[in-house]
């Protein structure tokens, strides 16, 4: 056999073996991807509570008190159903929760107005047991104002940001090496002219009035880069933008420092699109969604679209709650309280929204909602119905299909999820 023939046969045989190996590897990867995740999935539910015995904190939200602290549930990955798995009892209304990126620490904003004889809410830090998800309290510190209603973690992982609704202030809390919290490195108190009691864009016949009696910082979160911090004040009808020093934990007013929403509409929550260039703001009393273009280099917002969070033709009072952009960026979900629905909107190529449908929440006053880690299930915290309802998500249409699963829990405010190690 001449050398050229031998070389050609060697090449053909090698190519065949490589192709076969690639096919086997590809098949193995597909099988691995199709295998269900067998790790336990835990849900943490923050609630509104009544003060515990011998505790002097005051619970500020109404209606008070049916929750018992942070409730733990085991989640069935195939059906979305939840079963009780524990409780960290607290009488301080842990109404907002957030996990660090490593999923080793949990932080709660406790919506009280007194801490150790001082007018302040608190933020608590917990260590998470990786085997069962149980919580161990590390410490609690002042939130820098009364009634903290929202918190988030800066992308650096070094700071917790908290918005104090009844205090009208925002604060920066350093995360210490063990995950506990230090005293605030910065506290900023909102100031300005409070908006009118009648929302500019309220539905016909609406008597919705909630926060135009004083300043109310309702949400605070970093932009995706971590360079700027945004927070909303519902009473002032503004979104504020701050430059952030992630070495010292200090906030400096950006230029311009704020953008205004229509008087009385009351911005409550916002959510960035995954592309980081669009921001959707939800107004509590006006029942509107506003699309802003976001300049990540300058930290500047410019509004481009306003539409109702409610279905066409709705009349009467409504209070919006939360807003959530799907992970793929194709849909936006908003909460309507009194109408008790989740509004579903599709996202166009330029970010503008189109109403798709609304889904009844199967309960009263949906305060917040969340996807499970796969995005296949959607959970609504029906605050005044004392339940959480579970929906299956239609990945193509964005629609929500009720699974029939209710989870009883007193005054649920927020739900977040954790994959356990075992």
Name the domain count of the chain: 1
CATH number, residue 236: 2.130.10.10
Expressed in percent and rounded to 5, the helix, strand and coil fractions of the chain are 10, 50, 45
Residue 111 lies in a domain: no
CA separation, residue 117 to residues 16, 55, 69, 213, 292 (Å)? 77, 11, 21, 25, 42
Domain range for 313 is 190-360
Confidence at residue 12, expressed as pLDDT on a 0 to 100 scale: 41
CA torsion sign for 83, 86, 92, 95 is negative
Q: Give CA–CA dist 259/414, Å, rounded.
A: 28
Q: Give CA–CA dist 359/372, Å, rounded.
A: 18
Residue 272 lies in a domain: yes
* Tens of pLDDT, residues 325-357: 999 999 999 999 999 999 999 999 999 999 999
Q: Are 320 and 339 in contact (CB under 8 A)?
A: no
Q: Please tell me the pTM assigned to this model.
A: 0.90
* Tens of pLDDT, residues 206-234: 999 889 999 999 999 999 999 999 999 99
Residue 107 lies in a domain: no
CA atoms within 13 A on the CB side of 290: 26
Q: Spell out the alpha helix ranges (H) of 99-207.
A: none
Q: Are 194 and 213 in contact (CB under 8 A)?
A: yes
Tell me: pLDDT of 412 over 60.
Answer: yes
Q: Give CA–CA dist 24/263, Å, rounded.
A: 63
> Under 8 Å CB-to-CB from 52, ≥6 apart: which residues?
89, 90, 91
Residue 397 lies in a domain: no
Q: Give CA–CA dist 385/383, Å, rounded.
A: 6
Give the E-state strand segments of 287-393 in sequence order.
288-295, 300-308, 319-325, 331-337, 341-347, 353-360, 366-371, 377-382, 387-393
Tell me: pLDDT of 375 over 70.
Answer: yes
Confidence at residue 65, expressed as pLDDT on a 0 to 100 scale: 83
Residue 343 lies in a domain: yes
Give the E-state strand segments of 41-81 in sequence order.
41-47, 69-75
Q: Tell me how many degrees the CA angle 44-48-54 measures, rounded to the nearest 5.
A: 105
Residue 264 lies in a domain: yes
Tell me: pLDDT of 367 over 80.
Answer: yes
Residue 282 lies in a domain: yes
Residue 234 lies in a domain: yes
Q: Are 93 and 104 in contact (CB under 8 A)?
A: no
Tell me: pLDDT of 28 over 50.
Answer: no
Q: Give CA–CA dist 367/320, Å, rounded.
A: 8
Residue count of the chain, please give it. 422
């Amino acid at each position: 056999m001449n050398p050229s023939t031998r070389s050609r046969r060697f090449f053909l045989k090698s190519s065949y073996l490589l192709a076969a190996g690639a096919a086997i590897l590809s098949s193995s990867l597909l099988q691995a991807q199709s295998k269900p995740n067998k790790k336990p999935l835990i849900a943490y539910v923050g609630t509104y509570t009544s003060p515990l015995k011998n505790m002097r904190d005051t619970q500020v939200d109404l209606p008070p008190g049916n929750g018992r602290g942070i409730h733990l549930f085991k989640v069935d990955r195939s059906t979305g159903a939840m079963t009780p798995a524990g409780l960290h009892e607290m009488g301080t209304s842990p109404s907002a929760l957030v996990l660090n990126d490593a999923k080793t620490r949990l932080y709660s904003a406790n919506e009280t107005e007194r801490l150790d004889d001082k007018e302040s809410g608190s933020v608590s830090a917990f260590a998470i047991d990786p085997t069962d998800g149980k919580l161990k309290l590390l410490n609690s510190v002042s939130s820098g104002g009364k009634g903290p209603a929202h918190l988030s973690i800066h992308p650096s992982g070094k700071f917790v940001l908290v918005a104090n609704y009844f205090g009208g202030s925002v604060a920066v809390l350093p995360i210490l090496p063990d995950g506990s919290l230090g005293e605030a490195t910065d506290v900023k108190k909102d100031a300005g002219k409070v908006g009118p009691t009648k929302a500019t864009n309220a539905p016909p016949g609406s008597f919705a009035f909630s926060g135009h009696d004083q300043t109310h910082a309702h949400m605070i979160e970093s932009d995706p880069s971590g360079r700027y911090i945004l927070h909303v004040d519902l009473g002032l009808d503004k979104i504020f933008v701050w430059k952030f020093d992630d070495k010292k934990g200090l906030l400096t007013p950006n230029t311009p420092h704020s953008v205004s929403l229509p008087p009385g509409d009351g911005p409550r929550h916002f959510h960035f699109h995954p592309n980081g260039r669009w921001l959707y703001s939800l107004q509590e009393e006006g029942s509107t969604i506003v699309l802003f273009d976001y300049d990540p280099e300058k930290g500047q917002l410019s509004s481009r679209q306003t539409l109702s969070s409610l279905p066409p033709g709705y009349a009467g009072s409504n209070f919006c709650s939360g807003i959530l952009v799907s992970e793929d960026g194709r849909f936006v979900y908003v909460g309507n309280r009194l109408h008790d629905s989740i509004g579903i909107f599709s996202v166009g190529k330029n970010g503008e929204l189109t109403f798709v449908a609304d889904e009844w929440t199967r309960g009263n006053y949906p305060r917040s909602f969340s996807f499970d880690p796969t995005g296949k299930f959607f959970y609504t915290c029906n605050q005044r119905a004392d339940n959480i309802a579970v929906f299956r998500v239609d990945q193509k249409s964005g629609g929500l299909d009720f699974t029939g699963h209710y989870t009883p829990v007193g005054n649920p405010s927020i739900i977040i999820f954790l994959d356990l190690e075992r």
